[in-house]
Structure 1
Amino acid sequence: MKEELLNTFGAQFEQPLIDEIAQTGKLHEITAGETIMDIGNYVRAIPLLLNGAIKVLREDEEGDELLLYYLEEGETCSVTMACCLGQTKSEIRAIAETETKIIMVPVQKMEEWMAKYKGWRNYVFESYHNRLNELLHTVDSIAFKNLDERLVEYLKKKSEVTNDNRIRSTHQEIAYDLHTSRVVVSRLLKKLEKMKKLELHRNHIVIVDL
């Protein structure tokens, strides 16, 4: 575990902090599609992402989901940190987008390391900053962009985090993430196919030139 921690966080964290994370953290290997954290759960540990990708979703009162952002290698979820500090229930759902490795660190360590390690303080503040920017981007996208623009952005980002030009999501799953209907998503995908931007196949979508 320590070698993986060094590869992912060695440039940010002090060696004693790496040692403490290795001693107190628990390594979890998550399969694609598995729910890591759900809405309404109390958060007892902070996830540090060693590799893979996680999508973070919000749910409305009717149970419809909206994709907020992705977490990638070396990142953590600042919403989770806020829940930890406030001892409140999670308001997000985190699902592994790909095969993923995470280290879960006990919540008690967060405040201790804030006082003890500059690398940890900087990491926490940067995480809050990055997630806030991504949330603002999501709000701007919903408020100011057409759904076809949002769909293109979504497909590009999904391809980036999975490192694959094949999108293995159903039209319904994409609709859930974008908080719209499957019929609309299918229509827009067909339009993009006619424009030679992508290819639609039975179980996947191939990005050609988005």
Structure 2
Amino acid sequence: MSALQLNSIFPQFDTELISNLENIGQVTEFKEGEILMRSGQYFKNSLLILEGRVKLYREGDDGEEFFLYYLEKGGACALSMICAAKNETSAIKARAITNVKALAVPILHMDALMKEHKQWYYFVLETYRSRFSELLEVIDHVVFHSMDEKLEFYLKRQFDSLGSKISITHHAIADDLNSSREVISRLLKKLESQKRISISRNEITRLNF
């Protein structure tokens, strides 16, 4: 990947930082469905997402999944930036839900990047701040809201991120919300009857949402 392409994705980085990242980083590709990180693994790299979408979630003792957030083009995993520097293991699982291209920056360079490049320092802080804020919002809806409110919050995040039409199954939504497919299907049909969404096979379209 050229410096020009990298700069277009991360315009907040100056030419010196871009050049450094080009030298120390390696472009890595992941297929749809591939696991990028498992719980308990040590971080070897911090990934800057160049293309595609990555789903991050917590995995329960019985294998259940709790959806946290997505990483998309121009984003990075805040936990890998913070925990890697302390040689801590991952507490999350990450899966590519589309084909993904990322710049893998080895963790051994994290300290130097923080000290030598103010743009990287601010990027790490802003990434961590925005993800923490997003997680607080998720926790608020999980703890204090009913399932129909959780579903509306979930769909709004999807629409805001992906556009007015999203490709997703009822089963996948149920997994993300730690619910059953039957409950999610019933609530989606309720939203459709209110003409807020339109449902077709593996697709949901935003109408008055």
TM-score (norm 2): 0.92
> Does the 8 Å contact 1:53/1:161 carry over to 2?
no
> Does the 8 Å contact 1:4/1:50 carry over to 2?
no
1:202 Cα deviation from its structure 2 partner: 2.4
How many Å separate the matches in 1 of 2:31 and 2:199?
25
TM-score (norm 1): 0.91
Gap change, CA 1:38 and 1:173, over 3 Å in 2: same
Map 1:192-207; keep pairs closer than 5 Å: 192-207=191-206
1:132 Cα deviation from its structure 2 partner: 0.9
> Does the 8 Å contact 1:46/1:76 carry over to 2?
yes
Question: Could you list the runs of 5+ residues in structure 2 that have no partner in the other structure?
Answer: none
Partner of 1:3: 4
> Does the 8 Å contact 2:170/2:202 carry over to 1?
no
Gap change, CA 1:151 and 1:187, over 3 Å in 2: same
Runs ≥4 residues deviating over 4 A: none
| Number of residues of Structure 1 aligned to a counterpart in Structure 2 | 208
- Please state if 1:183 is matched with 2:182: yes
How many Å separate the matches in 2 of 1:126 and 1:17?
17
Partner of 1:44: 44
Partner of 1:84: 84
> Does the 8 Å contact 2:196/2:208 carry over to 1?
yes
Partner of 1:24: 24
User: CA deviation digits over 1:91-114, x for unaligned, max 9?
Assistant: 111122334321110101111111
1:34 Cα deviation from its structure 2 partner: 2.9
How many Å separate the matches in 1 of 2:35 and 2:155?
21
How many Å separate the matches in 2 of 1:153 and 1:65?
18
1:162 Cα deviation from its structure 2 partner: 2.6
1:116 Cα deviation from its structure 2 partner: 0.6
1:123 Cα deviation from its structure 2 partner: 0.7
Question: Could you list the runs of 5+ residues in structure 1 that have no partner in the other structure?
Answer: none
How many Å separate the matches in 2 of 1:132 and 1:197?
30
Gap change, CA 1:35 and 1:160, over 3 Å in 2: farther
How many Å separate the matches in 2 of 1:206 and 1:32?
23
Gap change, CA 1:102 and 1:52, over 3 Å in 2: same
How many Å separate the matches in 2 of 1:207 and 1:31?
28
Partner of 1:124: 124
How many Å separate the matches in 2 of 1:94 and 1:161?
18
User: SS of the residue aligned with 1:196?
Assistant: coil
User: CA deviation digits over 1:67-116, x for unaligned, max 9?
Assistant: 11122322211112233122222111112233432111010111111111
- How large is the RMSD of aligned CA atoms in angstroms? 1.7
How many Å separate the matches in 2 of 1:30 and 1:194?
39
> Does the 8 Å contact 1:49/1:76 carry over to 2?
yes
How many Å separate the matches in 1 of 2:97 and 2:180?
21
User: CA deviation digits over 1:109-143, x for unaligned, max 9?
Assistant: 11111111111111111111111111111111111
1:189 Cα deviation from its structure 2 partner: 0.7
How many Å separate the matches in 2 of 1:83 and 1:62?
25
> Does the 8 Å contact 1:13/1:119 carry over to 2?
yes
How many Å separate the matches in 2 of 1:55 and 1:160?
16
User: SS of the residue aligned with 1:66?
Assistant: strand
User: SS of the residue aligned with 1:155?
Assistant: helix
User: CA deviation digits over 1:12-43, x for unaligned, max 9?
Assistant: 22211100111111112334433222222221
Map 1:64-83; keep pairs closer than 5 Å: 64-83=64-83
Structure 2 letter corresponding to 1:14:
D
